[in-house]
Structure formats: C-alpha cells, structure tokens
Structure 1
C-alpha cells in the first residue's frame, strides 16, 4: 500500500499543499500533505485515526512512519494480533501544522475546528463493518466530540452502525511506557467487540429490590458527598445481572449481616470509602471475607498506580470492551447496578490473575494496610497553628525582599541561566540542588540558593492557616513499589524545615522509628554481596567504611567529603543510574571531567562490591530475553515497561530494592498495630512515626524496636537495625540519652 501525496497546484517553494486546501487556516503555513489511498476494505481489520502528520510523515508522504508509528506497529498492533496490512491509517489533519503557543504542533480554537472540518473532504469512507480506533485526544474530540482521552480510553461505542473505540496515542505510550499494556488490550478489545457485538450489552439491573443469595456478593453504595447520606445500594452475584434499590435501611442490614457472618463481600475501594460511609468495618480482611477490587488490582497492575488508572471503569475496560456505563447517571439505580455487575466481572478476572501470579497470600496484608491507612487519616496530625501563621507571614515578606535584590527574575530559569552565563558560569538548569552545588562560585548564586531554600510553594501547601489538626489521605494503591502515598496534603514530601510544624499534643511525644539503610541492605541481600552485608554487620559507619573501600584509604583517613561522595555513589549506582547522572548529583555538572570522575567512582564501587554489578546485569539480561516480570522476595509481582535497556534496568533494580524495603516497613506497621494497638501518625518512606504518652514512651519504644528488628524470614533472616528519635515536634527529634 502506497500513500498518496497529492500533486502541488500552487507555486514552487510553497508548503506542499494542494489547491483544494485553500480556505483552510493551515493553508500556506502547514507542511506537506499525507493521505493514504483507499485500500481493499475486505482485507482491513481496523481503521486507525491519529492526530496530525509529523516530520517523517511529511518527508516520506506516508502516515505513521515516524517513531510513534513504529511503536504503534511493533509494540501495540502486533501484540494485539494486527499487522500493517490489516490496518488503514489516517489522521485528523493532512499536513504538519506550525506549533501553537503551548509548543504543540496542532491548531487551537476556531482554527482547530475549521482545519479539522476542511480536512474531512479527503476522508475515505470506512465501511461500517470495519471498526475504527481513535488514538489520542484530538481524534477522540474530532470524531466523537469528547474530551480527555485519559477519561475515555477503552470506551467502545456504536456510531451510525459502526464500532468506534479510543485509546492513547502511541506518542503518549512512548513517553509513558506503562501505558503499553493498556493500549494493546484496548486494540484487542475493539477486535473482540467487532467479533461479538453483544459483549457491549449492559448487564440487566433489577430495580427496587435486593436479593440475598449464596456465593460471593458484590455491593456498591451511592451517597451524597457533602452529607454522606446513602441514597441507594446495589448488589450482584454474577456478571450479567444486578439488583439496586433505594431501600437503604434493609439493604444495610443485609450487608452488615454478611460482614458479621464473614460471608464474602466484594467492592471497589470499599475499605477506604464505602465501609466508612456505612459506619461498619469488618474485623476479618482475609480475601475469603473481603475482596476490595481496587486493592487487588494494584497487586496485579502496580505499573498503572502512578497513572491513576486503577479506578473501576479503567480496570474493567482493560479486561473487556465496555460502552459508557460510568458516564450515564440519569437513572441512578441503573448506574449503581451496572457498577456492581461489572465489578463482579472484574472480581472474576482478578481471581484468575491472582492464581497466575501466585499473589493470594498478599491480599489480606494489603487490605489490612488499607484499613490502617483509614485509621491514620481519622486520627489526624496535630499542627502548631501559631507557628504556621507566623511562618507564612515571614515567608511572604522574606520572599519578596530577596526577590527584589536580584538583577533578574529569580523565578525565570531563562533569565537566571542567561545572567550567570555572562558571569562565566554555565547552568544546566535552575533546580534547587543545582544552585546549591554552585553557591560558592558567585555571591548572587549563594543568594539565589537562599531564595530557593525558602521554597516556591507557600506553607499552606501542607498546612492550612485555620486548622490545628489535619487529616491527610494515606493510600496503599498510589505507588508502583508498595510504598504509601499521601495527599490532601502530601505529607510524604514535607520540606525538612517545615516538619517542626507537626507537634505532639500535651502530655505526648512524637517518636520516629527509622530503619537504617534499609534499601541498601535489601540490595546487598538481593545481590548476595557478602562484602557489603559484612560491612553492614560490622557496626561501623557504613558510608565511611564503603568510602574507604572506594578510595582505597584507611577508615579513619576518609574525609567527610569523600564519605559524602561515596554515599551518593551508592544511592545512585545501586539502581543503575549513569555516570552522567552521578556527576550531576555529586559535582553539579555533566561536563566531561565531572563525568570521568563519576565513572571512576562507580568503577571503584563495583570493584569493592562486585556482586552488585553482577546482579544488575542479571536483571537487565532477563529483560532483554523478554521476561518483564519481576517478583520480589515477598512474592510481589511487577511488570516493567521501558523504551530502552538502560531504563528497564533502572526500573527493575529500583523495584527490587524499594519494594522489598516497603514490604518490610509495611509489615512491621501491621505487626505493631496488632501487638500494641498503635496507629502511626505518619509513614514516611522508611520511617514509622507515632505519638506516645510521655510517661510510657521509653518502655513502649523498646517494645516497638523489638518488633521492628525481628528477622525478615522472606529474606533469609535479614535484620535491619532501627533508630528511635523522640521530640515535641517532628522537626526536632533526637536520640534519647
């Protein structure tokens, strides 16, 4: 199949558009004209519509021949069962537009509407028996009048007798490879719907009544967000039929009776949401009693966590084609019942995946962690409101005074880089860490570092000015490495200077229990590096000891700067970062000399701990053999997607080390909850933070440390030391005497 480049009917040297494009706002400013001729439609299994041709498409006169097109063919269509000869490729526009103010090569406003409409004159009429896949938001808007591909991906609809689906553009998948399995499945699902259109039929919803039947039961509540008043309740015992009713009282009695009897109840995000609204929480979080499909979906699809694609619609449409049930809310009972039936289908698929990945043993742990996260939110964190207000006033004043002292706008990277270039200092960027590394090279650089230290974000990002207690939302499904995430506000990333705003109530103290070097210890164990494990077991300052090996110096002769360089080398190199990245971390530069020094540091590190490099190569080799499945020592599974071998190696090594550490931290939080009944106020990376009564704190800390330092049986009895610090506020914790 050869793409048709229409002959130019205008003067030489113009943009390559035919005279039939006159009247289009892109005429004379767009480049090229790309249109694939009509194929033999009986041989076409799918028509794919993208956005606009790129530079390669214009040069070759063919659609989807650039890198995104290669990704579409090799990484998406082929795994979905399609070849190039099976598809007809098209775009919403025929030429490469100039970039708009946002830097995107696509028109906006009325120009966009007129250009897309003008290009329709060249469309090939796709027969109704050929399904159409819209890739990207531009095609979604142009063909279906919808906005937000992240909201609509996986949606399949019947338009004028023709099946139309939508998914992410291959360029978006290239930027975020974790979308790859989603794009593959959504192409496959469109083919499935084409072969069996009845699969798009919505489940039957019996309205006005509920039924108590044997076997697993899915339930779902609808409620008013402000009042938390439940409006209707639905249940399902199969994937094709559900029940929904406004009789809330009787329905709640049914749910509570099942929970009390430990009969299996299934729901999506029910531990964090529905149980709270009901005011009833189960006591048994075994998957034979409770099955939260969002929590379990995170176990199966952890790679989608950071993308926010673990909602009910997104996960159901991964497994099967669906059409618009989440967007149609006119009939609340119908909507509620469909949620239940589709969630039952999801439950069945997740059970099969748990069997395949052998992760059933992790379900109860994750569901208990979800309940612990709810208790943490309910407990809240006490704030020194006066200090918050005082800091806010000072921040506003100090920020403006410092800003006025600069001969450039300190918030403008362009102006900052240009100014210091004139002063003989080349900056790669204006990040805080970069400026701090160069602070001693110019007085204004030091002043800029102070300005950066104040922070661009106001204190109200974390602490409201009118509350002495905040209730962050902690989430066990928010990261792809099993760590907790936090929002409203994000207490995982509070600047160290602001931690002092978190205080203990009268008669209490804050206790931080921090695992010592837990990720590095996990990496040493995973790699089987006996030297590193021995260095940790020595009881000496590990970073000084490792630096002595890197620099081939006596332990006592290692300088503080060498210790710093060694520490940065370990943290960077363990997870496969490049020498250039290490050079920027340590020396604040990617210049040739700095990179050469970083290479020397990494080689010396691998010389001291050779098993680390061997382990990294094993991880990388497995990927290159096509095995993208990782299983950490606890049996937690993660699939790794990346554009190149180096990215895959980095992601893989990071997952192994970080998820292993997270599993230890999370399990100890559960152990303490079970043994002591204590709920942490924070879980920040490798630290559990509690608020304890002053009088019993010492004895309690001793018991907590005993629990936390128990041997990790999944890692051959590895013991990770814990440091306890105590204080009246979180920013001034000290090791007790």
Structure 2
C-alpha cells in the first residue's frame, strides 16, 4: 500500500455502500417523514474513509439505471433481486447531491455496472504504478486484487490484499472469476454449475486450474481429493455452456472507454453553503454545525473540520491527543491511585476472560479522570513472555475500599457487568453514579444501539479499536489474558477514556430534561445494582424433572412428525422452509395468506395460525414447532446452564434493549417461557425453592388497562377500576348493552379481546380475525366501545397528533419513546408507528412502575437486613421471590403493599401474589 506521504487512489463502490447502509442500519426519517437512514450511513462511511486516508485522488461510483450488457447476454441476470424499495429509491438523488457538494467526483456510466468502472480505473492506475484502494463490501471485487489493488470493507475496516483473498476464498485473485463461475451466485442469479460449492470449486481450481484448464482436463477431475470428485466430471461436461456463461457474467470489464482517468479524479473544494442546505433539509445536525461553523475546505479534509463552537458535543467530538499509561510497578500504581482517590469522578472498566459474568476472570482494570489521559492496570496476562505484572490479590486489596466506597463516584459503560465480575472477588462495587449505556438509552432508546463502539461513532465521531481487531474472530479468538500487553493496554485505556468523554456529552443532554434526569438517577442507575444482585443470586432448577420432560417431548415430537408426514402423503424435512412451502402451497394447494419479501409464500407463525383455523396440517406443524423450540431452548438447555459453583442458573437482564423500557433477559430468556400451554407451564414447575423456602410470584393485575384508564381519563374506565369491577365483564356490559350479571362467557371473551386489542392499536380487521367474526361486526364492536368509552378514542387521537408533532410519546413519568417512522412516506411503516404511539406509553409506564417497585422492595429488604426474602426474577409485570416459609405471610403482605404503592395513578394498582414449591404453583 501507499505510504502516508503518498495517499492511495481510492475508488468507492457507492452502490455497495448504499445497499449495506439501507439494510444494515436502523431506518431513520426526518421530521417531514423523509427517509434518511441510507443517506446518513453512506456519508458517514465516506467521511470515515476520507479521514483515515486523506486521498489526493478519489471517485465515488454508482450503478446507472437500466440494463447492462450482462442483461443482454443473460436476461435472467439479477432476476432474483426484488425491486428497489421506494424508501431507498427516494434517498438516491439527495445522496448524490451531498456527495457532489462535498467536492467528490461522482461517477455513473450507462450500460455498465459500478464494478466495471471501478475495474477499469483500477487497471489504468495499476499500469501507471499507482496503488488503488477499493472500498466495497462486494466479494466479486476480489478478482481485481493484485500488487497495486487492495480492498477495504468500510463496515469493519478490514483490508484484503492478495494473501487476504487466498485466506478468504482458498484461491488466488486470478482464479476468483472462475470460482464465482463454478459455484454461481444466488444474489446476482449467476447459474454456475449445479452441485458445485466452495469446497469443490476450490478443489477444482487448486487441483487443475481455471475453467479453460478444467475443460481441457475433465478426465483428471476424478483423481482429485475432495468429496464428489469422482462423479463431478460428468456434471461439468453437462453444464459446460452454463459454466462459460457464468464466467462471462462474473467477469468485471476492465477495458471500458472512459472520458476520465485516475489522474483527473481529484476532490474539489466543498460547497459548504450547499452542504448546509442539504444537511439542514435532511436534519443531520452535527454535520450542519461542522459546515456552518468552519471555513470552506477541500472535500479530502472536510470530515476533519470541527466546529469551533464550545458546546459539549463539538468539543467532545474534536480529536484529543491521548496519553495512556500501563501500570506495571508499585510506584506507578501508587501515583495513579492517589490521583484516582482525589478525583471527583472516575471512568472505570474491567477486562476479563469471558462475557459470562459468573465465569469471567479479571485480567485488568482501566481508569480515566480527564479526557485523553487514562491508565491500564493489567493483572493476569499470561501469554508466553508476558511482562511481570503486579499481584491481582494485592491490587484488589488496595483498591477494595475505593471500589466499595459509595461516595467515590464512578462512571462506566454497562457497569452492571463489572459489578458482577468484582462480586466473584468478594468486592461490592458501589458509587455507581453514571452509566453511559443507560444515559444513551434514557436519551433515546431507539436512536441507535447503546454499545460503546456505536456511541463513540455517533457522539464523538471517533472509531474505537474493536475487540476483533486485537483478538481475532471465531474459534481462534483470543481471550483478553492472551492478548499482548501493548495492544491490550491501548484497547483497555481507550475504553475508560471514551467512557468519560461520552459521559461529558450525554449527561448534559439528559440533565437538561428534568424527567429524563430523574428516570436515569432514580430508576435506571439504582436498578442496575438490583439486577446485578438478582443475577448473582440465580434460580434453583430441578434438572431431573426437565430431563424427564425432554424425553417425553422427544417422543411427542416424533409422533407429530409421523402424523404430519402421513397427512402430507410423504416424508419431508419440517425444518426446511422450502419443503414446507412445497407441501402446503403446491401439493395441498392451501391459500397463500402472505408472501415473503422475495415473493415466496410465507410459512411464518402468524400465517400458520390463520391457516390452522381451517386446516389440520398447519395446526400440527405449529404444535411440532412449539414443542421443538421448548425442548431445544429450555428442557434440554436449562440443566446445562447450571453453574458448577452455585448450583443455580444465572440469567442476564438487559436494561437497554427494548424501545419501551421493559427489561429483557438472555441465557436463559425468562420472558419467553410459554404459559398458555401445559408443556410450557411444566417448564415453570422446574423453577423451585430451596429447602425451607417457598417461591412467591407477585403480579400486577391488568396494569396496562389501568394505565389506559389513567392516561385517557375516561370516566367509565375510571369508575370500573375504582369500584373493583371485573373490567372485561364491565366492558362487555357496556358494549353489548346487558346487565353485568347477564354477561355470557363468550361476551366477556370478546370484551377482553377488545380491551387488549385497542391497547395494541388493533384494527377492525385484526379484531375480526381474533374474534372469528366479520370485519363489519368487529367494527360495530369497536364503535360501541368508543361510544361507551369516548375518553379512550380522544386519548388515541391526541396521542397520534402529539407523536406526529414531536416525534415521540411519553410515559406517565416522562420517559420518552421516539417513533422515527411516525412521518414515514411508507404507509405501512407509518401506521405501525401510530399503533406504537398508542401502546408505548402504556407498556413504558408499566415498565417504569415495576422498576420502581423493584427499587422500593429492595430498599425495604436491605434497610431491614431481611435475609428471609430474596428477589430472584422479574418477568413482564411479575416479580418472583424466594421467601422463608415461616415468615411467608408477613413478608408477602409487605411486598404486595410496596408494589401497589410504587406509583400513584388515577386508579388503584392491584397486585396478586401466590406461593408454592415451584414457580408454576406460585403463579
């Protein structure tokens, strides 16, 4: 590659960027409902690339509209690709405008693909000894790699040179076209040779040579050492014409007649006025600030220009010189520890051997008290020739008082994990004042992911060192203790440094809104410590019962498979979507309810559910799927998850995943254990209490309906809850105009479907499907409901309007739930956002209430030093405890009282609590 003093010639595969940005990033819209996600993604990648390489010559190349010469020689070329979505098409023209305004040469050639333009320019540059860097995610470009041409994947910053092609494809660059021609390409609909995959293509090419050599030596294929080689010669001969056609289709044309050359493709002065207009229109606020507060600059350095304003975002985004220290001796440690103890706030992070907090061993810690200045304290790097490090036990003994001091304020990124890891060393991390993951989540739960790498890119315009870059990937990935100290130290110190810088950007934004500040400081941050204690506690599992259930499920699954095959009239793989589509929609000719994005009949759960109303086979398939998932996910897996040290299963709770504020959990996922069928409930029976204790489940009753009554202020709903009525019976009485005592079970079921359906923004069509009535009848039910409860309809209309005006809705307690699709030009996405606008305040408020309840119960439990009560799980609107049997009544009464008083609404909160030997009995 070129030296820094002579930047490379860069060719950007704009079409590759465009599709990757559209499909790989969350959709974004501006306040006018215009789609902007792909524009943002492409420009962001361009800016990063330019900042990294500062090229003197560059071209950004896009595919032209219409057919190319490949369509002429093979009309089915790319026929499998669905048409471009309108949401993407609408972003192309503005994206081109921004690129041109940045001063970058924009290239579009009719009749050829971007690949061909790039190939031709790269060849011309190579012939003149100019090194070329092609930025693309397209594997076909590997055929262009040579001593002068390297690929870079901007999504992960990975370079691919000649050796890189060999490592990835198992063949040198000059055989890549042959490789693609042999195995074909489903995306581009290049047919290839049927039955030839990666291994056989590699075997042919490495054993004989390219396609020409192969067809001159078909008799030698049988002598090659790979599976299927003995019979492949016949197939190659049969499909020779198809293989040669595929070779033409896969070949990038490097001999185009172009009106420009590598030397003429130079960046020009950026048109900052034009950029300001475009960034303003599409609401890229940070970029708008950059171009309006800086002098006009050439495009090659445009991404380096930073606002000279002094607001927190711009100052944090500016490049900061780093001064990172590795602490290897006692004197350096004491100097740093003195500074740590004097600091008002310290960014703190741990490095470990595992993401599983119960198994993780501490490898090192990092600290930062001012931006750009950080230290890494290694304690357990044990690769060969690793330098001597200070004793972990001695260091933890020195640090323990500071780590456990509640008055010493720490900030971290996902500090719950660090708290759990330190608990393994008998250290209770306290003084958790701030968490950048939670700050980002409270600020905007849907704005982006909340991991450090993403936040650094979004808020600091800084690309962090990614773990895979120092540890590798896959089965050969190193654990942190195996990584050489020089690399490990920078990575770890950067974590603490970036955490502090993120805090300095995010906290002022959160603190500017009193409600958001309160949610962060009084709910999310305290809750993290409670969740950590619950995770460490874990739950007791009856593995023998689960093993028995697994055996029974295996028998029933085999029976179901046999029944399905008999009903279908043939054996087939129930796990194969393609085979299932054939059986249901071709052989049995069931109606196609819904299609996949590629136009195939859908076999989703929703589709099978609808078909099962009229046909027996989909019902059997649904039962088969449900039991198979239950077996694989729970009855087989849970016993294997029992921790060898504690004898219990330890889930991980996630605070920053759902859009509404609800908690989620993984390993195991406690939220998804089915409770509507007997087999799912049996899994809950395996969650048991230790000896002398009972499982207690305390559940909020109809909390979302109560929140709907509070938010809507509807007099009928408020009255029903205030008088403790059965809300579904009361609704049935109103809708069907009968006395409450005369409401039938069927009417109550219908009213329940209406009550919950409206919460989730269900349409008359959806309600009709649920009640198995006509759409007209369902609409009549809804009209009657709104007539009896007019406040609900007013709330819905009011909420939609608020969402459209502000781009978000709020919970009762001020948590903001952003709706980026609320003004989308796509009707389906806009309607989905409107449904979410109605439901999100209820789900979000319910999430806030149970979090506040957890804090209240934990405060009471810890203040009374009550060892008789242990909170072990949170699932939806339910808290689960282990409570000592002889104190059951008193403690359950207190818990119910605390949960009911956790929040004050216009209607009373009601909690129902049960107990038993296991979770199912308690529920």
Does TM-score exceed 0.5, indicating one fold? yes
Separation (CA, whole Å) in 1 of partners of 2:616 and 2:136: 51
The verdict on how the C-alpha distance between 1:430 and 1:326 changes in structure 2, with shifts beyond 3 A counting, is closer
The verdict on how the C-alpha distance between 1:120 and 1:512 changes in structure 2, with shifts beyond 3 A counting, is farther
1:655 aligns with 2:800: no
**Does structure 2 conserve the Cα–Cα contact (< 8 Å) formed by 1:48 and 1:133?**
no
Q: TM-score, normalised by structure 2?
A: 0.59
Corresponding residue of 2:624: 451
Corresponding residue of 1:381: 539
The alpha-carbon deviation at position 440 of structure 1 amounts to 6.3
Q: Which of 417, 428, 445 pairs up with 1:281?
A: 428
**1:310 match: secondary structure:** coil
The alpha-carbon deviation at position 199 of structure 1 amounts to 3.7
1:302 aligns with 2:460: no
The alpha-carbon deviation at position 729 of structure 1 amounts to 2.0
Separation (CA, whole Å) in 1 of partners of 2:141 and 2:812: 43
Corresponding residue of 1:599: 779
The verdict on how the C-alpha distance between 1:66 and 1:664 changes in structure 2, with shifts beyond 3 A counting, is closer
Unaligned 5+ runs, structure 2:
1-56, 72-83, 127-132, 159-262, 268-281, 291-298, 308-316, 379-389, 471-485, 594-601, 863-868
Corresponding residue of 2:591: 426
**1:483 match: secondary structure:** coil
**Does structure 2 conserve the Cα–Cα contact (< 8 Å) formed by 1:259 and 1:282?**
yes
**1:474 match: secondary structure:** strand
Q: Which of 242, 248, 257 pairs up with 2:374?
A: 242
Deviations 1:553-606 (A, max 9, x none): 33233332332222222222223233333333333xxxxx74333323322222
Q: TM-score, normalised by structure 1?
A: 0.73
Deviations 1:60-80 (A, max 9, x none): xxxx99531424667x899xx
The verdict on how the C-alpha distance between 1:136 and 1:637 changes in structure 2, with shifts beyond 3 A counting, is farther
Q: Which of 535, 538, 542 pairs up with 2:720?
A: 535
Deviations 1:435-455 (A, max 9, x none): 566656455455445435524
The alpha-carbon deviation at position 631 of structure 1 amounts to 2.9
Unaligned 5+ runs, structure 1:
1-45, 98-105, 107-113, 126-131, 154-159, 164-179, 588-592
Q: Which of 619, 643, 662 pairs up with 2:799?
A: 619
The alpha-carbon deviation at position 302 of structure 1 amounts to 1.2
Alignment of 1:435-450 (within 5 A): 435=608, 439=612, 441-444=614-617, 447-448=620-621, 450=623
Corresponding residue of 2:702: 517
Q: Which of 715, 722, 725 pairs up with 2:911?
A: 722
Alignment of 1:288-327 (within 5 A): 290-304=433-447, 309-326=449-466
Separation (CA, whole Å) in 1 of partners of 2:719 and 2:770: 27
**Does structure 1 conserve the Cα–Cα contact (< 8 Å) formed by 2:135 and 2:154?**
no
Deviations 1:257-308 (A, max 9, x none): 26526122222112322563364224555xxxx222222222113115xx7x
Alignment of 1:672-711 (within 5 A): 672-677=857-862, 678-710=869-901
**2:752 match: secondary structure:** helix
Separation (CA, whole Å) in 2 of partners of 1:530 and 1:597: 26
The verdict on how the C-alpha distance between 1:336 and 1:77 changes in structure 2, with shifts beyond 3 A counting, is farther
Separation (CA, whole Å) in 2 of partners of 1:256 and 1:465: 38
Q: Which of 341, 365, 382 pairs up with 1:233?
A: 365
**Does structure 1 conserve the Cα–Cα contact (< 8 Å) formed by 2:856 and 2:902?**
no
The verdict on how the C-alpha distance between 1:454 and 1:348 changes in structure 2, with shifts beyond 3 A counting, is same
Separation (CA, whole Å) in 2 of partners of 1:312 and 1:274: 18
The verdict on how the C-alpha distance between 1:551 and 1:487 changes in structure 2, with shifts beyond 3 A counting, is same
Separation (CA, whole Å) in 1 of partners of 2:323 and 2:856: 44
**2:564 match: secondary structure:** coil
The verdict on how the C-alpha distance between 1:334 and 1:450 changes in structure 2, with shifts beyond 3 A counting, is closer
Separation (CA, whole Å) in 2 of partners of 1:195 and 1:703: 60
Q: Which of 360, 363, 377 pairs up with 2:520?
A: 363
The alpha-carbon deviation at position 229 of structure 1 amounts to 4.2
The verdict on how the C-alpha distance between 1:332 and 1:431 changes in structure 2, with shifts beyond 3 A counting, is closer
Separation (CA, whole Å) in 1 of partners of 2:68 and 2:722: 60
Q: Which of 653, 657, 675 pairs up with 1:478?
A: 657
**Does structure 1 conserve the Cα–Cα contact (< 8 Å) formed by 2:137 and 2:153?**
no
Corresponding residue of 1:170: none
Corresponding residue of 1:172: none
Q: Which of 350, 356, 362 pairs up with 1:221?
A: 350
Corresponding residue of 2:666: 487
**Does structure 2 conserve the Cα–Cα contact (< 8 Å) formed by 1:77 and 1:187?**
no
How many residues of Structure 1 are paired with residues of Structure 2 in the alignment?
623
Corresponding residue of 2:305: 195
Corresponding residue of 2:119: 118
Separation (CA, whole Å) in 2 of partners of 1:544 and 1:686: 22
**2:512 match: secondary structure:** helix
1:464 aligns with 2:638: yes
The alpha-carbon deviation at position 185 of structure 1 amounts to 6.0
Separation (CA, whole Å) in 1 of partners of 2:541 and 2:116: 55
Alignment of 1:113-192 (within 5 A): 118=119, 145=151, 149=155
The alpha-carbon deviation at position 522 of structure 1 amounts to 0.7
The verdict on how the C-alpha distance between 1:347 and 1:427 changes in structure 2, with shifts beyond 3 A counting, is same
Separation (CA, whole Å) in 2 of partners of 1:119 and 1:435: 51
The alpha-carbon deviation at position 363 of structure 1 amounts to 2.5
1:350 aligns with 2:506: yes
Q: Which of 573, 580, 584 pairs up with 2:765?
A: 580
The alpha-carbon deviation at position 727 of structure 1 amounts to 2.1
The verdict on how the C-alpha distance between 1:297 and 1:667 changes in structure 2, with shifts beyond 3 A counting, is same
Corresponding residue of 1:262: 407
1:403 aligns with 2:568: no
**2:533 match: secondary structure:** helix
The verdict on how the C-alpha distance between 1:719 and 1:73 changes in structure 2, with shifts beyond 3 A counting, is farther
The verdict on how the C-alpha distance between 1:450 and 1:312 changes in structure 2, with shifts beyond 3 A counting, is closer
Separation (CA, whole Å) in 1 of partners of 2:757 and 2:518: 33
Separation (CA, whole Å) in 1 of partners of 2:417 and 2:619: 46
The alpha-carbon deviation at position 641 of structure 1 amounts to 0.8
Deviations 1:334-371 (A, max 9, x none): 22222222211101011111123332222232122111
The verdict on how the C-alpha distance between 1:134 and 1:360 changes in structure 2, with shifts beyond 3 A counting, is farther
The alpha-carbon deviation at position 723 of structure 1 amounts to 1.1
